[in-house]
Amino acid sequence: MILTGRQIEAAVDAAEIVIRPFDPRHMNPNSYNYTLGRHLKSAEGVLDARREAIWHSATIGDEGYVLVPGRLYLASTAEVIGSETYVTSLIGRSSLGRLGLFVQVTADLGHQGAIHCWTLELAVVQPLRVVPGMPLGQVSFWRTAGTVTSYSGMYGQSSAPTPFWPPSLA
């Protein structure tokens, strides 16, 4: 069952959900608006799922950064987000989809126990300037049923944009 905005706020107050920094103006009826952090990675050329890619790092300044089509970008949320109690789901904002920005194209599920700045998958259909702190999407929180096992994998440990790791397919 999905938490309402009021339940999310109460869970943040009770330290059952971590959203840091937390801004009550970012609350929605069933989610919280997460924002773009300052770190970005991109890869050029052909990506091969069997090998590590060479990623170029950039810092998004106050003037923003122009994303271009034909390239995958990895960014991170400005907020540390997660919970030992609830499962998270991160999706993009429909308003940014209308600008041709696709956020979290494939991996929207965040397991219990993963508490960090989240890696975001970004792709655009036309050049688009993004700026740090802009709302990129919503995170919702879900109750689980059954015995809980906290996530302890490599993708739940880093707060920087984390590229694909080929052994993760093994």
Provide the Cα torsion 20, 26, 27, 31; round to 10°.
-80
Residue 121: active-site member: yes
The sign of the CA dihedral 49, 50, 54, 60 is positive
The two three-digit tokens of residue 114, written as one number = 């993963």
Amino acid residing at 90: L
Question: Which stretch of DSSP H or E encloses residue 109?
Answer: strand 109-110
Closest among 60, 78, 83, 116 to 7, alpha carbons compared: 83
φ and ψ of 13, to 5 deg: -60, -35
Q: Which of 9, 16, 84, 121 is catalytic?
A: 121
Cα–Cα distance for residue pair 87/169, rounded to 1 Å: 23
State the DSSP code for 151. Answer: -
Catalytic sites, residue numbers: 121
